[in-house]
Structure 1
Amino acid sequence: MLETPTPAPAQFTAFGEGAPPAPTASLDVIAAVQLEIVIALGRTRMTVQQLLQLRNGSVIEIGQAGGLVEVHANGSLVAHGEVVVVGDDLGVRIVDIPQQRIQ
């Protein structure tokens, strides 16, 4: 016959005051996980007819030149930045991190 366990009150350790402890090595486990980073230069709307009329050399206007771009990680907005030239490549300098991402 199986014994029925006797319930007992839960024992919890009290939280200390002050700043939370610094992150531990457990973050090292996910530090190497790769994310898809997408830089969104802008957005616009067009009709199906306009889309079908696109040809090589067509220009799609997406907003003011020199404006901020959006930086997305796995589909979530994580920052805003400005396009910069790095040698022969383009890059993005982060200029703003949305408050909801920081929390």
Structure 2
Amino acid sequence: MSDSTDNTTFDSEDLNFDDFQLEDFKYEAPFQPAPEVQRDLSFFKSIPVTVTLEVASKEIALGDLMKAGEGTVIELDKLNGEPLDVKVNGSLMGHAEVVVVNEKYGLRLVDVLDSALTGVGH
């Protein structure tokens, strides 16, 4: 066995790019996002959602609620005449007041919050 170590040094002048077969190399450009396209989002308009008019709420201890019976009054967090919360699938959409239309309750929106709903379908 030889005690000599094969130390190969690299000299940049030894490098000849003509030796590489670069014409066979296929370059793929990095991912480029597609240009923004106007999409028809009208199908969102037919998706059913649940609209809820929340009069008010109150957080109370379960023990106090268990004591409640017929005739018990629980004070809520809204004042008389204050706009009520309108929720869509549980998320606050805006505020409204109660109206009666054809003997049924309805709501009249008094303000709509800036939300994702305002941008859908525009």
Shared fold (TM-score, shorter chain, > 0.5): yes
Distance 1:53 1:34 in 2: 39
Displacement, 1:6?
2.0
Displacement, 1:81?
0.6
1:76 is aligned, of 68, 91, 100, to 91
Asked whether the equivalents of residues 93 and 115 of structure 2 are also in contact (C-alpha less than 8 Å), the reply is no
Asked whether the equivalents of residues 83 and 95 of structure 2 are also in contact (C-alpha less than 8 Å), the reply is yes
> Which structure is higher in helix share?
2
Q: In structure 1, what is the equivalent of residue 55 of structure 2?
A: 41
1:46 partner amino acid = I
Q: Which stretches in structure 2 are left out of the alignment for 5+ residues?
A: 1-23
Q: In structure 2, what is the equivalent of residue 50 of structure 1?
A: 64
Q: In structure 1, what is the equivalent of residue 74 of structure 2?
A: 60
TM-score, normalising length: structure 1: 0.68
Q: In structure 2, what is the equivalent of residue 90 of structure 1?
A: 105
1:86 partner amino acid = V
**Secondary structure of the residue that 2:64 maps to in structure 1?**
helix
Q: For residues 45-65 of structure 1, give each alpha carbon's deviation from its aligned partner in whole angstroms, at most 9, with x where no partner exists.
A: 222222001223333222312
1:6 is aligned, of 16, 19, 27, to 27
Higher Cα Rg, which structure: 2
Q: In structure 2, what is the equivalent of residue 18 of structure 1?
A: none
Q: For residues 51-101 of structure 1, give each alpha carbon's deviation from its aligned partner in whole angstroms, at most 9, with x where no partner exists.
A: 001223333222312211111111211111111122321111100112345
Task: State, as a whole percentage, how many aligned pairs show the same letter.
Answer: 26
Q: Which stretches in structure 1 are left out of the alignment for 5+ residues?
A: 16-20
Number of aligned residue pairs: give it. 93
